Amino acid sequence: MTTQLEKNSNEQLPISLKSIREAERRIHGVITRTSLVHSPFFSGECGAEVYLKLENLQQTGSFKIRGASNKIARLLEAARQAGQEPPRGVIAASAGNHAQGVAYAAAYNHLAATVVMPQGASLTKIKSCQEMGATVIQHGTGLEEAATYARHLAAESGFVFLHPYDDWDVITGQATLGLELLEDLPGLTTAVIPLGGGGLLGGTAMALKLQNPKVRVIGIQTEAVSPYLGYIQTGNYTKIQPNATTFADGIKVKLPGTANSAIIRQYVDDVVTVDDNQISEAIVALLERTRTIGEGAGTVALAAMIHKKVPLGPNEKVAVVISGGNIDSTLVGRIIDFGLVSSGRYVSVAVTVPDTPGTLVHLLTTVAELGMNVRQVEHRRGELHIPVGKTEIILQIETKDWDQQAELFRRFADEGLFLRNLLA
């Protein structure tokens, strides 16, 4: 079968294996070489040898520092070679991770930095940029509006605009992750990688395929925002609705880049999608199994693996990139609960019973006999939907899975009690 690599091998790109290795040397000491960790649990769940590339433990909490560091280093190299002064500063537009990468790399190189972030950007990411010395400006409802404004500010200030993904130096920096994958796992057969703008996916795919064309590379987008869905097969983007949204804000990119698209069409094998429920479950699973936190955008590849979105052959060795872990602490609890609900591990039910002594004890005893844990109990009386002489009891219950929840409903039904699922 003809591979996509063979189909497009005549298209020349301004990145080579040599330039990627040069970028690796250039950013050495700025970035962290993150661990590639074998996961027995996810291997068992997915039917393959699964390894997690933990870029959520990277400097600034995501892979983005790779591209930002390479870009800034290249700007300074070019100025020195031309005998010119270094740039006055750099400016970037980002939902947060590229902004942090630029802020860190700029501070490392003693450059001023301004980052433009959309309204509603993560408070954690905003504070992080400010702590690294960057000026943060919030503008627009999405990345595209923020980028337009950042370009305007760059023209006014004389700062150099650093695109978050549609830039060859940025892509080359992200590609260094692919070098690490094959060095740490020479027998790699499939890499599953988050896809937003495409810098990480395109760069990593190129680094992998230039070394071993047999490695399969799969990009993962969210169902709501997936312009690259079908692109590899047709060359056409999928139109995204203006109001489309996902809590995986780091990959909520509706306008693909030209440079990224050229690489993706040539080196990536397929693109699949996951929804927010599946992403939430992946965040919970990652936290439980690795004791590390992943943001929505950072865990889409793991979500795709857990939900069998990536077909696997026998004896596969799969690298799953956890691309970032910058998530607001205020959001963590809500996402964990959401993930528990969507995986059948948490339910809130209401039941109307006689308002007599001992009724609540009986309900709680039944739940305990089924091996479940009650998180919270609430009584309601005197409301129009509750008859006089009765009370509505709301139980928030932690369960093992969907089957155990079904057993809970059957047990109460056998006693003539109707449970109303408040989370369905």
Residue-level pLDDT at 15: 94
Give the separation between CA 129 and CA 407, rounded to whole angstroms.
Answer: 49
153: its two tokens? 């500010």
Residue-level pLDDT at 11: 60
Number of structural domains found in the chain: 3
> Is the same domain home to 221 and 270?
yes
CATH of the domain at 398: 3.30.70.260
> Is the same domain home to 176 and 257?
yes
Q: Which helix (H) or strand (E) holds 139?
A: none
Q: Identity (one letter) of the amino acid at 82?
A: A
Give the separation between CA 107 and CA 255, rounded to whole angstroms.
Answer: 29
> Is the same domain home to 57 and 106?
no
Task: State pTM to two decimals.
Answer: 0.87
> Is the same domain home to 373 and 285?
no
Q: pLDDT 10s per residue in the chain (424 long)? A: 333 433 444 468 899 999 999 999 999 999 999 999 999 999 999 999 999 999 999 999 999 999 999 999 999 999 999 999 999 999 999 888 999 999 999 999 999 999 999 998 888 889 999 999 999 999 998 888 999 999 999 999 999 999 999 999 999 999 999 999 999 999 999 999 999 999 999 999 999 999 999 999 999 999 999 999 999 999 999 999 988 989 898 899 888 889 999 999 999 999 999 999 999 999 999 999 999 999 999 999 999 999 999 999 889 999 999 999 998 887 888 888 888 898 899 999 999 999 999 999 999 999 999 999 999 999 888 777 888 889 999 999 999 999 999 999 999 999 999 999 998 8
Give the separation between CA 86 and CA 271, rounded to whole angstroms.
Answer: 40
The runs of H, that is alpha helices, within 185-314 are 199-211, 231-234, 258-267, 276-290, 300-306
Residue-level pLDDT at 144: 82
Instruction: With H, G, I as helix, E, B as strand and everything else as coil, classify residue 305.
Output: helix
Name the residue among 332, 254, 266 with its Cα closest to residue 299.
332
Give the separation between CA 418 and CA 421, rounded to whole angstroms.
Answer: 10
CATH of the domain at 95: 3.40.50.1100
Pairing of strands 190-194, 216-222: parallel
> Is the same domain home to 142 and 188?
no
> Is the same domain home to 194 and 266?
yes
Per the CB < 8 A criterion, the answer to whether 322 and 370 are in contact is no
Among 110, 133, 162, where does a domain finish? 162
> Is the same domain home to 222 and 320?
yes
Residue-level pLDDT at 12: 80
Residue-level pLDDT at 1: 30
Domain housing 323: 4-62+170-339
> Is the same domain home to 237 and 294?
yes
> Is the same domain home to 134 and 269?
no
> Is the same domain home to 112 and 185?
no
